Structure 1
Amino acid sequence: MPAIRATEEQVELLARLMRAEAEGEGNLGMLMVGNVGVNRVYSDCLDFKNIRNLRDMVFQSPGGFEATTKSYFYQRARERDKKLARRVIAGERFHPASRSLWFFEPTGECPAQWYNQWNTGRYKAHCFFSPTEQDCPRV
């Protein structure tokens, strides 16, 4: 995945999102959430057409992240979280989120599909879902 451009404010937003969505899953879980966010900016397909930067992605409505409705998201970004955000912004990918545009935490097993997108795997509590190459060739 090519790197995307991001201001320092956008790095902080992504870091806060990664922490709020997956801090309990450690650095790797947070990096995977970051992959999903960067993929949404880069992809320009499906639900994410005209998402041009990380701010657009974080606050997309409808289709954004539940974490933005929680007070924890609005706490200041920690330096270690910003370092993780910079890694995914620079283009690092982590399976099963490397091509994913969606993730969620099911109460049981990961379904094979979610909103017609294929399951690419699970990491701890989150299941990740990726579009086909036909639907999103840029991811």
Structure 2
Amino acid sequence: MTRIKYIQSDVELLARLIRTEAEAEGQRGMLSVGAVVINRALVKCSDFKNVDTIREVIYQYHGSDASFDAIQSPSFYQRATEPYLKLARQCLQNWRLYPAVYSLWYFNPSGAGVQNTQCPPKWYGQPYAGVWKNHCFYEPTGAECAEIYKI
């Protein structure tokens, strides 16, 4: 069973994003980033009311800021290879695990490659859900996005 309808170009796009955003975080880190992308495409709340597809989520901007720094990296535009395509398919086919089960946001507060991540208890007003290696994950409150807890 899949979590969301998708086409082959979505698999390739998601594979490139998870590689560029979280390759240093290992497979579980890349899968967690992919789960956040899928979560954003499935909900109609918060900053994600007007995005419905993987492509729209990945290329979403908030003012002049890209939602994902990866799209500004030259490595994002390199062809996706099979190991990353496999991870993208896992995300699309219902992979979710703590801390990304209900998360809509993540970030690396220390910068790339820095260990001993200190995650703030809230980020943009949303509560901390957990950490995986260098990425802090945040899920919305029920008041902000109750539907995330139903998907």
Q: Tell me which interval the TM-score lies in, with the shorter structure as reference length.
A: over 0.9
Q: Aligned residue for 2:113?
A: none
Would the aligned equivalents of 1:36 and 1:101 in 2 still touch at CA under 8 Å?
yes
The higher radius of gyration belongs to 2
Please give the secondary structure, in 1, of the residue aligned with 2:141.
Answer: coil
Q: CA RMSD in A?
A: 1.1
Q: Aligned residue for 2:78?
A: 75
| Comparing 19-28 and 85-94, the one that deviates more | 85-94
Q: Aligned residue for 2:99?
A: 96
Aligned residues: 138
| Comparing 46-55 and 128-137, the one that deviates more | 128-137
Please give the secondary structure, in 2, of the residue aligned with 1:3.
Answer: coil
Q: Aligned residue for 1:15?
A: 15
Question: Are residues 1:30 and 2:42 paired?
Answer: no
Q: TM-score, normalized by length of structure 2?
A: 0.88
Distance 2:56 2:30 in 1: 19
Q: CA deviation at 1:98?
A: 0.9
Would the aligned equivalents of 1:16 and 1:76 in 2 still touch at CA under 8 Å?
yes
Q: Aligned residue for 2:144?
A: 135
Gaps of 5+ in 1: none
Q: Aligned residue for 1:6?
A: 6
Identity over aligned pairs, percent: 45
Would the aligned equivalents of 1:3 and 1:90 in 2 still touch at CA under 8 Å?
yes
Gaps of 5+ in 2: 111-116
Would the aligned equivalents of 1:42 and 1:138 in 2 still touch at CA under 8 Å?
no
Moved over 6 A (4+): none
Q: TM-score, normalized by length of structure 1?
A: 0.95
Would the aligned equivalents of 1:36 and 1:100 in 2 still touch at CA under 8 Å?
yes
Distance 1:136 1:7 in 2: 27
